[in-house]
Amino acid sequence: MKIVYSDRHRVHRGEFEFFRGELVPCFEKPERADFVFAALVGRGIGPVLEPRRFGIAPLERVHAPRYLRFLERAWHEWSALGQTRDALPAVWPIRAFRDDIEPQSFVAQLGLYSFDSGTPLTAGTWEAACLGADIALTACALVRSGERAAFALSRPPGHHAGADFLGGYCFVNNAAVAAQAFIDGGAARVAVLDVDYHHGNGTQSIFYERADVLFQSIHGDPRTEYPFYLGHADETGRGAGLGYNRNYPLPAGSSNERWFDALGEACARIADHHPRALVVSLGVDTFAGDPISTFQLEATEYQRLGRELAALGLPTVFILEGGYAVAEIGDNVAEVLAAFDAAAV
């Protein structure tokens, strides 16, 4: 399977995130992508290609222009305040506040466009976020030109980012950009499957009222797990999108058997949708040893995931999302991709 990668992801290196009242070192660090890259190359998965540049137009298909403008200028505005540390929000316009007027204060803008205090915006964030979208779009282009599958090896992740907000370490929603690129390239229908431990709230919200992009997510129950405020089973889409969103929230600590029951249901729904392509938000924070998650997948389960996805027989773009047990994340991704390759026809 072709891998799209660039080591320029390293320009995004957050220092701290808020965690239980303390600033702690970021879980989402450059070493994550380095380990994945090393594991794939070590197992002979490849070749590795550099991304092409697609510019901002494909991002504007799923993100609000004012949000993208904010992201692009953010570091400049923040440093103009004399700040040298990462930017983290401290105030948010929840419910009774207005979100239709963009405040002039940068700190207020940062709150308007974010939903948590664990997603540091740094000097290199915009560059890395655009790079991630270019990587996803290059993987799409490969699949559109006949590759059975491609892997977008990028960070930071994207699936928590919505049309006009960042959060959960995410800024630009690479999976949504990829799905939209398939549609814009002429696909009538696309399916997005999110197997990261955390609900893909950003991707869900972007496609919630659409029938062309089926979104499904298997994740820790938001009653106890991040991102808490979305990802319940009764969220099935709205308007034209009714029936095109499915969530499989599983209790923290769920067994692998339960996880694969959900995967089976999700795959059956994908087959029903008859999509032209599949986009997989591949988080491996479902790993038994992940420091911030509670599922129990290990190598044999990652192989099974790869096989079951291959059995769908669809042109497939894999996009890296979460996974924080840094040493093992590469092996877990490699298991999925190698098993997919071995089973794919």
CB distance 35 to 330 below 8 Å: yes
Nearest-approach distance from CB 47 to ligand OKP, in angstroms: 27
Residue 166: phi, psi to the nearest 5?
A: -110, 165
Closer to ligand OKP by Cβ: residue 109 or 203? 203
Which of left, alpha, beta for 52 (phi over 0: left; psi -120 to 50: alpha)?
beta
Measure the CA–CA gap between 217 and 230, rounded to whole angstroms.
11
Query: Which residue lies nearer to ligand OKP by CB, 191 or 325?
Result: 325
Residue number, 51 or 167, with CB nearest to ligand OKP: 167
Residue 216 DSSP label? E
Site map (CB under 5 A) of Zn ion, residues 171-200, x = contact: -------------------------xxx--
Among 14, 51, 89, 118, binds ligand OKP (CB under 6 A): 118
Check residue 23 for interaction with ligand OKP (CB under 6 A): no
Smaller CB separation from Zn ion, 14 or 315: 14
- Decide whether 162 or 322 has the Cβ nearer to Zn ion: 322
* SS3 state at 179: helix
Footprint (CB under 6 A) of ligand OKP, residues 258-297: 283, 285, 292
Please state the closest distance from residue 36 (CB atom) to ligand OKP, in A: 14
Q: Does 12 bind ligand OKP (CB under 6 A)?
A: no
Minimum distance from residue 83 beta carbon to Zn ion (Å): 28
The Cα 329–Cα 335 span in angstroms is 10
Q: How far is the CB of 20 from ligand OKP (least distance, A)?
A: 8
Residue 155 engages ligand OKP in binding (rule: CB under 6 A):
no
- Rounded to whole angstroms, the Cα distance separating 341 from 322 reads 22
Known active-site residue 219: no
The answer to whether residue 159 forms part of the interface with Zn ion (CB under 5 A) is no
* Cα–Cα distance measured from residue 156 to residue 82, given in angstroms and rounded to the nearest whole number: 25
Q: Using alpha carbons only, what angle is made at residue 41 by residues 40 and 47, rounded to the nearest 5 degrees?
A: 95
Total residues interacting with ligand OKP, rule: CB under 6 A: 15
How deeply is 31 buried, as exposed, middle or buried, from its count of CB atoms within 10 A (0-12, 13-18, 19+)? middle
Does 116 sit near Zn ion (CB under 5 A)?
no
Pinpoint the alpha helices (H) of the chain.
31-42, 57-60, 65-80, 106-112, 125-144, 174-184, 201-207, 256-273, 299-310, 326-343
Q: Which of 12, 159, 160, 198 is catalytic?
A: 160
Report the half-sphere exposure of 53 (CA within 13 A, side-chain side): 4
Minimum CB–partner distance for residue 169 and ligand OKP (Å)? 5
Residues that bind ligand OKP in the complex, under the rule CB under 6 A: 17, 19, 118, 157, 160, 168-169, 196, 198, 226, 283, 285, 292, 321-322
Active-site residue set: 160
For binding to Zn ion (CB under 5 A), which residues are involved?
Answer: 196-198, 283, 285, 322
